[in-house]
Amino acid sequence: MKIVFVKSAVEALFHSVQVTSNYLAKEFEKQGHEIIFWDRSGSIPLIDIKADAVFLREIDKVILMINRYGYVKWQPKVFAFLDRGETDAINVGLADKIIDVAGFTHPLATKLWQARTKGTSFTCGYGFAEDLPLGDNPYNEEKNIVYLGAMYHWKYYEQLRAVAEHFKDATLHIIGGTLRVKKYNLILHEKPEPDIAKGLFPSGNVILHGGMQYGTFNNYLYYADVGLSYSHTTLNVLHCKVWDYLSNGLPTIVTPADSPEGELVKRTGCGYCVNHGDYIKAIDKALNTRFDRQGSIDYMIANEGFKSVAKRWEKYLC
C-alpha cells in the first residue's frame, strides 16, 4: 500500500506533534508499505499523487487540504490524527466528507467526535520513539523536578511558580519554548540568560531551558525525580508529555484528578493523579516514594510506542 504523509519540509521538530508523521512512517515502512512525504509547499497537487491513503497530522493539515481543494473526497483513504474530539477549528459535518478515519489520544475525545459524526474514529494514542539514545546525567543538583512543554495559559506559570517557591531544596527545570505570563507570551528559542528565570521565578531555583528538539530531552526526564503535568481545567486530550515522562520511567503528577492524563499514570503506577489543592502534597510524596520506574518503561515500550500506535492505525488501512 502506498501512503502519503502530508508535512512541511521546514517544520522544526521541537514537539512530539511534529515528529509523529516521521516515526509512524518508519513503522509503516517496516510493515511493508510504500511511503511518500508530500511537502505542502511543493508544486505537485496532492490530488495528483497516486496513492492508497493520505495521512494528515493535526487540524491545521485538514484545514490546509480543505482550503486548497474544498470539501472534496478524492480517491485515497484519508486518515486524520486530530487529538481532541471537541475541536471546533473545522466544520465537523463537512470534514466528515473527506476524512475516512479520525484518530484521537483518549477515548473521551473519540466519543465526543463519534457523537458529532458518522465517520469511523478510534483511540490511537500519541506514541513515543523507542530507539532514542539516552545521554549522560545532565544534573548537578540533588533534587530535580521537570515540566516539559508549552504553557499557553498564565495559570500554568502561577502553578509552577508556587511549586518552585515551596520546593526550594529542589531545582525546577522548564523545557519548552512558550511561557505565558498574564497577557504576555515569552517565546524561548534557546536557553535564555539566568536573569530572565530569576525575574520570573524569584525563588531562584528555576532553570529555563527553552525549546529542545524532540528526543534531546530524554536524559533530562530519565534522571529527574518528578515530572509535572498541569492543566487549570480538564481537557479531552492526553498530552504527549505524559508519554515522554512515563516512557522514561519518570514519576508523573497529574492535575486535575479527572484529567485524561491520569489514565497512563494509573496503568503504569508511576505517579499520582490529584486535584489542584493536593498538587504540592503529591509532588512532596512523589519525591519521597520509590516507584517502579523500570516497570513504567517496560509497560510503555510494550503498549504505547510508535510501533504499537502504527499497528492500531494499520487495522483501518485496508
Q: For 144-303, CATH number?
A: 3.40.50.2000
Q: For 2-124, CATH number?
A: 3.40.50.2000
Q: What percent of the chain has pLDDT over 70?
A: 96
- The three grid cell numbers given for residue 201, joined into one nine-digit string: 521565578
- Residue 292: is its pLDDT beyond 90? yes
- Residue 265: is its pLDDT beyond 70? yes
Q: Which of 112, 73, 66 is nearest to 91 (CA)?
A: 66
- Residue 15: is its pLDDT beyond 70? no
Determine the straight-line distance between the first and last CA of the chain, rounded to whole angstroms.
9
* Domain parsing of the chain, residue ranges: 2-124, 144-303
One fold for both 2-124 and 144-303? yes
Spatial separation of the C-alpha atoms in residues 84 and 190, rounded to whole Å: 29
Spatial separation of the C-alpha atoms in residues 295 and 298, rounded to whole Å: 5
pLDDT digit string, tens, across residues 60-78: 888 888 888 777 777 789 9
- Residue 11: is its pLDDT beyond 60? no
Is-contact 247 23, C-beta < 8 A? Answer: no
